[in-house]
Amino acid sequence: ELTLHFAPMLCVLFLAAQMQAMLRSNNHQDPPLWMCNCMEVASAALIVQTLLAVLAPTLARRAEDGEGQPQLAAPMDAFDEDALVVRNGPGWIRAASAVAMTLLMATSAAVCAGILSLRMPTENGSGRVAPAVSYTVNLTLQLFVVHLVLAVAANTLPKQRGRSGSKILRVLKLAADTVFFAPALCVLFIGARVRALQVDGGQGLVQPWAAHGFGACSE
């Protein structure tokens, strides 16, 4: 469950990329090949991370019990929610978990950059990105950056004793709880964008007050 926390955000991000590519090409083209490859790698990395989290408890053995029998680690003990990686199990599982999470975040950031590069042509020649799409990218980056900073802090601050480290972790956990709503907001933004496309004949321009609402929710 913890490893699939990013799945809704990835789905909305991929949908935004497909929508932006289709609108830019009058429904004739998909996103560029490199963006599609990044989507595939991100999806595969998330699947691998989930499989590793399921596999780790069966390989991570605790100290033997009173009868000399090995005990398996509980699933919730195998995956570190804050560090976003498998913390128990053989070294190769921990290394593969770290690589999978790195690939997930790197490819997601690449998809965000690709979406912003798919600008729709305007009359003055400069491209534009729809507010719903740009704020979807905004929230996606917020979610991944917050969890990345939390993961770094969870892996480094425990080595430093004192109240300052625990306070930082508490603040970062509160930030992570806040961005939990990002996927739902992105679905709302994309839904408004789709409705605008139906109403104004393919331009997809939402009302200015709605665009300002997107910004207020995102910031």
**Cα separation, 32 vs 22, whole angstroms:** 11
**Cα separation, 40 vs 18, whole angstroms:** 14
Is the pLDDT at 174 greater than 90? The verdict is: no
Are 149 and 131 a contacting pair, CB within 8 Å? no
H-helix or E-strand containing 79? strand 79-80
Is the pLDDT at 131 greater than 70? The verdict is: yes
Read off the pTM.
0.77
The lowest-confidence range among 39-53, 57-71, 90-104, 119-133 is: 57-71
The token duo for 196 is 């605008």
The token duo for 174 is 């509160």
Cα→Cα distances 213→136, 185, 189, 210, Å: 13, 11, 10, 5
Identify the residue with better confidence: 87 or 216: 216
Is the pLDDT at 185 greater than 70? The verdict is: yes
Q: What is the pLDDT of residues 53-67, one digit of tens each?
A: 777 766 655 433 444
pLDDT at 180: 85
Q: What is the pLDDT of residues 10-56, one digit of tens each?
A: 999 999 998 888 887 776 788 899 999 999 999 999 999 888 877 77
- Phi, then psi, of 61 in degrees rounded to 5: -105, 135
